[in-house]
């Protein structure tokens, strides 16, 4: 009969004589436990590498679906911010095509970025009164262009008619 070295829960080991079937089963169990220990060791190494790269695993009681929803929301917010920035850039380009450079700059900062006139004056390097005049001229020029565009549309509608 074969002998196996069995380790008891208290840590001491003894050689025990067992049947062949038990010896084979015990050998399979030892092989399985060794594989599990190796997997745990590999898992810990992977977690250590992730931690080195700045990954912060969630707490064990954290709801994974809640994390996914939060990530989806953050992604949607980033996309909205990207779209907003694109719209602002497009509008800034339109202003620059229509107004003088300084008018466009002052008007854009004031109207779209909601920066105070005092701050705009400091950043451009002019007085607050000059900023006020630039914004007023920009508004007048934009209104003039809007009226011209409406008149052009009315003329085109009169010539070609409206399409339904």
- In order along its 164 residues, the chain shows pLDDT tens digits of 888 888 888 988 999 898 999 999 999 999 999 999 999 888 888 888 888 888 877 777 778 788 889 899 999 999 999 999 999 899 889 888 889 999 999 999 999 899 999 999 999 999 999 999 999 999 999 999 999 989 988 888 888 876 65
What was the pLDDT predicted at 163?
Answer: 60
Length of the chain counted residue by residue:
164
Please, what CATH class does the domain formed by 78-160 belong to? mainly alpha
**DSSP letter (8 states) at residue 112:** T
Strand, helix or coil for residue 22: helix
Cβ within 8 Å of residue 104, ≥6 positions away = 92, 95, 96, 98, 138
- Stated as kind and residue range, the H or E segment containing 26 is helix 20-52
> What integer pLDDT is reported at residue 162 of this predicted model?
67
- Give CA–CA dist 47/45, Å, rounded: 5
Spell out the domain ranges in the chain: 3-52, 78-160
Give the pLDDT of residue 59: 76
Cβ 95 vs Cβ 108: under 8 Å: yes
């Amino acid at each position: 009969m074969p002998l196996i070295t069995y380790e008891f829960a208290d840590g001491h080991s003894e050689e025990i004589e067992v049947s062949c079937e038990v010896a084979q089963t015990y050998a399979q169990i030892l092989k399985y436990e060794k594989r599990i220990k190796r997997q745990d060791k590999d898992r810990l190494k992977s977690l250590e590498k992730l931690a080195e790269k700045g990954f912060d695993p969630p707490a064990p009681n954290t709801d994974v679906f809640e994390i996914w929803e939060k990530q989806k929301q953050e992604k949607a917010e980033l996309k909205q911010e990207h779209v907003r920035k694109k719209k602002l850039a497009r509008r800034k380009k339109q202003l620059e095509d229509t107004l003088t450079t300084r008018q466009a700059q002052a008007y854009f900062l004031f109207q779209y970025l909601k920066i105070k006139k005092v701050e705009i004056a400091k950043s451009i390097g002019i007085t607050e009164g000059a900023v006020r005049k630039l914004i007023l001229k920009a508004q007048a020029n934009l209104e003039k262009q809007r009226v011209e565009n409406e008149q052009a549309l009315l003329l085109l509608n009169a010539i070609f008619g409206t399409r339904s």
